[in-house]
Amino acid sequence: MKIALDILQVLMLILGAPLVGAIIARLKARLQRRRGASIWRPYAELFKLLRKEELVPPTASAVFRLAPIVLFGATVCAAGFVPVVHASALLGSRGDFFLLVYMLALGRFFLSLGALDGGSAFGGMGASREALVSSLAEAPFLLGLVSIAVLAARADIAGMVAWTLGQDVFNISAVHILAFTSLAMVALAETGRMPVDNPTTHLELTMIHEGMVLEYSGPSLALIEWASAIKLHAMLALLIALFFPWGMASSGSGWGLTVALLLYCAKTALLMVLLSVIESAVAKLRMYLVPDFLGVASALSALAVIFTIWVKR
């Protein structure tokens, strides 16, 4: 029963991912008083790309073809660590939060390699910027998770969530606030959202993620697009699980699971609204201010770790 639920959770993260991106795009369209595209469009797009011919630059090596597969696999693995409807995950006890962070890093590393292998100037430019952003995002990502791990005295994500569930909702500490803010900022950078990267731009010189995927087409592009969607969904689910887990099912009863699922959808919806408002309210940062943005995230997460000393357990 438990294992079936765990598998279901991962499938939810993978199959629901395109929907999350589409709903954010739809919300942003509504804020611009546009009608916006159908929320099912990304599925049609993935289906279309999977059936299309794949074009590979003549100078590219096997890395170019391999990169999207590794990226997709690593992202799915990372999603396997995230609890959604109950405080356990498919890969929950098989690795700690470090593994989650570096699974995402592995995927990104391979995507950068693929971009360099594609041979276009924009691939290289995107890859170097991605390397800068991700190396700066790594510290706050890890420190933010460390602060919660210290409080929970557990290193696996599912264990940290289980500990949080045992706490009183109103008994939140400064550590939680600091860690949440820092991880939310990391999530923006990590998933290539505004104000760090503009996912809708057509200007090749300003691109980060889009620059890396310019040379990709067909099934490879589908895998990359899907992987980024899963990453966004998994990051949102991770934020919910770590900071707002209350309502997760404690037993396998049908009633508890239904409530947990509905609450999860409501929490995700809230985060999506928040994200679309943030993305609509600010202009993209100048490229050399991205380190400042992530520097603030690092400082917040470092404070979170320091404050764990004073939190009563």
Partner 1 sequence: MREDTPSLFPNSGRASSGTAFTLPQSEDGGAARLVTIFGSLDPHGARRVRYVFDAGKPAYSEIVLPAEGPLRSIAREVPAAAWHERELHDQYGIEIVGHPDLRPLVFHDNWPDGVYPMVDRVDDVPWSKRDYRFLQVQGEGIAEVAVGPVHAGIIEPGHFRFSVVGDTILHLELRHFYTHKGTEKLFEGKSAGDGAMLAESVSGDNCFAHAVCYSQAVEDACGIKVPPRALALRLIGLELERLVCHISDIGGLCTDVGFSVAAAYATRIKESLLQASVQCCGTRYWRGVAVPGGLRFDFDSARVAELAQAVARAFRDFSKIARLSLETPSIQNRFEAAGVLSREAARDLAVVGPVARASGIDLDVRRDHPYGRYSEHPIEVPVTHYGDVMARARIRISEAAVSARLIQEAAKSLPDGGVFTPIASQGDVQGFSAVESPRGELCYWVEARGGRVTRCHIKSPSFQNWPAMPLAVAGNIIADFPLINKSFNLSYSGCDR
Task: Kindly state the smallest distance separating residue 167's Cβ from partner 1, in Å.
Answer: 36
Q: Nearest-CA neighbor of 279 among 22, 16, 31, 19?
A: 31
Question: Judged by CB, which is closer to partner 1: 174, or 277?
Answer: 277
**How far apart are alpha carbons 304 and 301 in whole angstroms?**
5
Structure tokens at 245: 């887990």
Q: Which is nearer to partner 1, 132 or 303 (CB)?
A: 132
Measured from the CB atom, the residue of 33 and 313 that comes closer to partner 1 is: 33
If the CB atoms of residues 207 and 230 are measured against partner 1, the closer one turns out to be 207
What minimum distance in Å lies between the beta carbon of 236 and partner 1?
A: 20
Nearer to partner 1, 167 or 206 (CB): 206
Shortest Å, Cβ 62 to partner 1: 26
Angstrom CA distances, 86 to 14, 39, 96, 169, 250, stand at: 17, 27, 17, 17, 6
Minimum separation from the CB atom of position 121 to partner 1 (A): 5
Query: Residue 16 or residue 124: which is nearer to partner 1 going by CB?
Result: 124
Contact 183, 239 (CB under 8 A): yes
We find the least distance from the C-beta atom of residue 275 to partner 1, in angstroms, to be: 13
What is the closest distance, in whole angstroms, from the C-beta atom of residue 68 to partner 1 in the complex?
20
- The residues binding partner 1 (CB under 8 A) are 28, 31-34, 121-122, 125, 194-195, 198, 200-207, 214, 279-289
Cβ atoms < 10 Å from Cβ of 32: 10
Taking the complex as a whole, the smallest distance from the CB of residue 16 to partner 1 amounts, in Å, to 25
CA distance linking residue 208 with residue 199, whole number of Å: 9
Nearer to partner 1, 73 or 124 (CB): 124
